Structure formats: C-alpha cells, structure tokens
Amino acid sequence: MAYPQNCFAQTTIRDYSLLGRRRHAAASNTLRYQLDVLKKTGRYDAFKLHWHPSYNDPPTVWPIPNHLFWDSDIAKWIEGAAMFLKQQPDQEIEEAIVDLVDMIKSAQQPDGYINIHFTVVGPGRRFTNLRDFHELYNAGHLIEAALAHENTFHDRRLLDPMLKYVDLLCDTFGGGRNQIPGYPGHPEIELALLRLYDHTKNTKHLELANFFLIERGNAHGWFGRHYYDVEAERRGDDPNKRPAFYPERRCLWYHQAHEPIAEQQTVEGHAVRAMYLLTAATDLKRVMPDSVGQKFESAIYRLWDNMVSRKMYITGGIGAIKQWEGFGLDYFLPQGTDEGGCYSETCAAIGVMMFAERLLQIKLDGRFADTMELCLYNAVLTSMSDDGRRFTYVNQLASSDQDPSKREEWFTCACCPPNVLRLLAQIGGYLWTHKIDEAEASAEVAVHLYTSATLKFAVGDTEVQLEQQSNWPWNGDIKFNLKTTLSKLRLRLRIPGWAKSFQISDGCPDLDVNDGYVEIPTAWLASNKTFSLSIPLIPRLIAPHPFTNQHTLSLARGPIVYCVEDIDNPWVEDHFKSTQISQDCKIEERPMQEKTSGDSLVGLTITDGASIIGANSRNNSPSMSLGSCYKSEPIRELHFIPYYHRSNRGGSGQMRVGLRREAPPVGCQT
C-alpha cells in the first residue's frame, strides 16, 4: 500500500482526538457545506456544458479565467467525499457523487477529451496554453477522483472515462513524431499518472509521467528552443504583456521550468506547483530507483533542505510573496503584509506534507516526519474553522489593518477548501507506514504521527492490529497495544527532533535514536505487546534563523506553535507590533475548553517577561538614542492560543506569532 489515498481506510481515528474532531467536522459539516457552495456558484452543473454567466467575468488574475479550475474543484470534492464514504456511508453525499460522475461522463468528447473551459468557452484551443491554462492540472485531479471513486464503490463508472482521456494524453504528448513535447505549467497530473500506473500497471501511464518530469525545463525541447517560448509565439502572445503573477518577462522559474529538475539548486516560484512537482519526482524515484529516479535523487534532497532551512516559516508554511504565491529570496520570511509579505498558502502546506510523505517512503528519516507534523498541526489545521464551514487561503503569521486574521466562506479560486477536505479524509494514511513481506511472513511498521487510532492489516492469513491511545498533542503519553500472532514484526517509533527526552515502558532495553526513530526490539515486543511511550511536552521559546532579520521569539509546545490574539488580550491596538517578550520570560500552561467545538486544549500565558514598547520609543525621528529603544511598559499577563485555533472565537482579527525579542538595556547610553 504505497499511497495514503489507498491505505487510509486501514486506519480508524478516534473522534475524541484532535485529528478525529477535525475529521468529524469535515465529514459532518464540510462535505455538505462545500456541496452547497458548488451548487450555488455553478460549479456543480458545469459539466453539463451549458454557458454560465460567470464565464463572461474578466479575470481576477490576468490571463486566467476565474472558472478555469472548476473541473478540479469538483474533482477534489469527489475524491474527498469518496474517501469519507469508504469509512462512513452517507446517502445524500453518495447521490451527489453519482450525479456528478454522470455529468462528467456526459461531458466527455468522442476522442476522450474532458475539460469545461476548452469545450464551452474556448473550443478549438485545447493544448495551446499548457503554461497558463491548467488543462493537465484539471485532468490530474479528475484522475485522482476516479481512483478514489473506484476504490470506494468498486466500479469503473468514472475510471473508464478517465482511462480513455489518459489514452488521448498518451497519444498527444511525448517526444515522438507528431507529439507535443510539452508539460503542464501547474504540475499535478504527474502525481496522478504515477498513482494510476500503480493501479493499472500500464507502462504508458508511467512513461507519460516520466516524460513530463524529465522534459521540464529543457531549454532546447521544441525546435531547439524552450517549449513555453515556442508555444507562446504560436498562440500569438504579445511579448510586451505578461501574466499578473510574473514579476518579469519570460518568468520560467515561476513554473519551475527554468532548468531541468535535476539541475535546480534552490526551490523557486509558485510554492504549490513546486511541492506537487517535487512530490511527483520523489515518487518517480521510488518507482524507478535504479534508472530515471537516480537523476532526481540529489535534487530532491537539495531542494527539500533549501526549502526547510531557508524558506519555511516556523509554522511549516511556505511562500513569502503574494504576487506569485511563492518563494522569495533565502531567509526572506516577513510575518505579514505590512512587513513586506507572507503568503503561506494552505495548498502549499498540504504540498509539503505530500512531499514529506513520499520522502519517508524512500528514506525513513525523522526530519521529514517532523516537518510533516509541523505543517499538519499549524499551517494546515489553521486553514479550516473548528466547525468546518470557514476557510483560509493565506495563512500569515501576523495580521495588519490591510489583512486581518480571518476566514472566508469561499474563494473565487477555491483550490484550498476541497484540498483540506481530501487531506483530512486520507490523514490515516499519513500516521504510519507499513510494509509487508509475504514470502518472509514479516512486516514493518513505522509510526510517524501520534494520535488515537488503530491500524489493521494482514500478512497472509495473519492479522496485525496496532493501536495507539493518546491525547496528543496536549499530552505526550502514548499507549500502544499490539494484537497479532505474527512473530516477525519490526516496529519503529518517531522521536520528534524537539523532544528533550523520551521513555519507553519499564523493562524495555535502552534504545538509540537513529534518524529520528527508535526500533522496539522484536523479542521484547513479543512479550510486551502493551507498552507506552512518553515524550514530555514542555513549553519552549523558538526563533527564526538570524538571517531572516526578524529578531522575534515565538512559543511552542510539542508540535503546536502558538500565537497571541486580541480576544484574549483586548488592550491591543497595533496587531501586537509593539509587544515584546524576554527570552527569560515565565511561561505557564492553562487548560482551555472551547464551548462551540468541544475541544480541550492547552493555552499558554506569560506572567513575567512581556512588555509593550513605550510611546516615547516611537517618535517622529529616523533614529533613536540607544537607551530609549528599551523603554517599555510591562504586561501583567500575555495569553497565547494554538495558531491553528486563531479566528475561531470572534475578535477584531489582530494576531501575531513572532513577538519582538526584548533586549536588556545593559550598558545603554541615553
């Protein structure tokens, strides 16, 4: 079971856990809420191929038509809904899926082609703007929806039409005579084709994914020139006009097409595109480890390291620049709009999780799982309200008058809400990896994420059931219960990089942490099938890299990053810009019970070591005397909540993660 989308149903997540509550909100509320929005906005009926008034709307982001992503909005909702129905039947949702599948089938053209825009709005222009117009991106999401549909309903009503479409794509694209040597401006179909190959074993699907990945960035790909240059000339683009998201002409790095993937030194451009591309490249490395995949190996790790160490926020979010929804210079990580940026798109954080999960399939290293967990509990969970009916697209670390901290009901470009839906549906597949060797009658399980859940699988006729019980991420005690007669089982548990210590049940031999995991001795496990792992969750101060020039401190506890919000600190007037904390501050935990969601969580309070920069320190001068820089007014109590929980309880939308680091006025001259 190589993919979370396939193996998620082998895991049952308990509703009382944090992840269980978010999944329950998604299954109970989000599915229906998003279905209603799809209907109200015209997306639901779009595959009937009738004209919709919104098709006349001018592009919000030129030259992209606002409706261009409707295919994928529907596809992601079908995928998420089908996965939820795999574990929890729902007649209303199932009927909607049947209706949508029928409409998609009816929209298919005689040669297999399926696309709303190029059938209704731009007929005759298909495959003429791969760079900008998301045809192959939409196709990829439809393929993934078809795989989820087949996995749940065990019929081919959606898969067969998509296979016919993929046949057309295999005939159309490639390096052969009369084929188009192009590739999508927005990667996604590469992921889908690799998953489709895993399902069908049809080498054409693997070959097309391979072509898209290898050909990308080829400076001499079409008539000795870059494919996107020739394509733009053929469709008559004005060379003096550029898309709104291009900061310069011929902005190939926006699409990660400035160089072949294997030669790229730093992660650049649109953050979501980069994550989907690198996830696919990593998966190709897994599928073809000794041939094509070797070309990508160094680049995959190099680009991961560049991203995590130099271009990632402490919440796991990526993408500092609004214009191109992506990466800036190394260490350019401002917290909010009035500081110069911060985008941190929801889909990008989900993409980081996808990338990390693929890396764990080829190398079990805790640094990948640590980042995956960081993203999940902060940059991802913050994107949906507790009740599952409000969403974020952008996840800044500091609010401003221009961009207060808030959630929206929906978006014109609505990629994020259904993406969160489908991630929560399959999150059980991210908790652990299990591998089976039928010939040796053995199995391996690596536990990446902690919660309350049960994994079930079989090795031949022998069932294996591994249960973890915990109140993670609020309590670090995890109880494991293994039920199996299998004698050969390797079990490895992740020890987070932030953990100062850990302890296994009394009697377990001393264990060394190797690449972030400890392996429970097989002989000890055979006679100790119920045991516990304890990881102390202690509040701590964290800081961004000094090269970011942020000079801030933030609070964290376990995998949770915290923020301050005006509803707990009603005196704030400036989005906490003048609030500062000392590295010697006193931090206290406070239990919290949220009435609306029923969540129990841990808040933090600084009772000594927080202050506000004094009014006389903010004068009308370009410089200040050194002593006046440190004049401040103490704050008796400064309250923090988990960042993911922001904008759930009202307030004026003032929020901040990183607070100024208070510097001692020792030796200052006034």
With bands split at pLDDT 50, 70 and 90, how would you rate the model's confidence at 524?
Answer: very high
pLDDT over 90 (residue 628): no
The answer to whether 416 and 346 have CB atoms below 8 angstroms apart is: yes
pLDDT per residue as tens digits for the range 189-234:
999 999 999 999 999 999 999 999 999 999 999 999 999 999 999 9
Asked whether the predicted pLDDT for residue 535 surpasses 90, the reply is yes
Tokens (6 digits) for 516: 């972030």
Residue 664: predicted pLDDT: 62
Q: How far apart are CA 148 and CA 100, in angstroms?
A: 14
Mean pLDDT is lowest, of 170-179, 339-348, 482-491, 588-597, for: 588-597
Amino acid (1-letter code) at residue 644: Y
| Angle at 81 (CA atoms; ends 77, 86), nearest 5 degrees | 155
Backbone angles phi, psi at 279, to 5 degrees: -60, -45
Pick from 321, 5, 381, 379: which is nearest to 192 by CA?
5
Work out the average pLDDT over 558-572.
98
pLDDT at position 669 is 46
CB 193 within 8 A of CB 205: yes
> Does 665 have pLDDT greater than 60?
no
Q: What is the average per-residue pLDDT within 313-331? A: 98
Model confidence pLDDT, tens digit, residues 432-465: 999 999 999 999 999 999 999 999 999 999 999 9
d(CA 600, CA 592): 6
**How far apart are the C-alpha atoms of 423 and 441, rounded to whole Å?**
32
Residue 618: partners with Cβ closer than 8 Å, 6 or more residues away: 578
Averaged pLDDT score across all residues of the chain? 95
pLDDT at residue 207, as a whole number: 97
User: What is the Cα–Cα distance from 634 to 607, expressed in whole angstroms?
Assistant: 10
Average pLDDT over residues 296-313: 97
Average pLDDT over residues 323-327: 97
- Retrieve residue 572's tokens: 């704030």
The pLDDT of 133-143, averaged and rounded, is 98
Residue pLDDT, tens place only, 359-394: 999 999 999 999 999 999 999 999 999 999 999 999
Residue 616, pLDDT score: 59
pLDDT at residue number 621 = 76
For the chain, list the domains and their CATH numbers.
Answer: 1-237 (no CATH), 260-383 (no CATH), 430-534 (2.60.420), 541-661 (no CATH)
CA dihedral sign of residues 171, 172, 173, 179: positive
* Alpha carbon distance 268, 252 (integer Å): 10
- In this prediction, residues 584-601 reach a mean pLDDT of 91
3-state secondary structure of 73: helix
Whole-number Å distance between alpha carbons of 525 and 482: 9
Q: Please, what is the Cα angle at 384 between 65 and 495, to 5 degrees? A: 120
pLDDT at 668: 46
User: What pLDDT is recorded for position 273?
Assistant: 98
* % of the chain residues with pLDDT over 70: 97
Report the C-alpha dihedral over residues 133, 137, 143, 149, rounded to 10 degrees.
-100
- Asked whether 379 and 344 are in contact (CB, 8 A), the reply is yes
For the stretch 217-227, pLDDT in tens is 999 999 999 99
The reported pTM is 0.97
Q: Give the model's pLDDT for residue 474.
A: 98
Beta bridge mates, 443: 436, 489
The type of residue at 336 is G
- 291 pLDDT band (50/70/90 cuts)? confident
Beta bridge partners of 611: 580, 634
Rounded mean pLDDT, 107-121: 98
Q: What is the pLDDT of residue 632?
A: 83
Answer whether 135's CB lies under 8 Å from 121's CB.
no
For residues 483 and 592, what is the distance between their CA atoms, to the nearest angstrom? 35
Strand partners, 531: 480
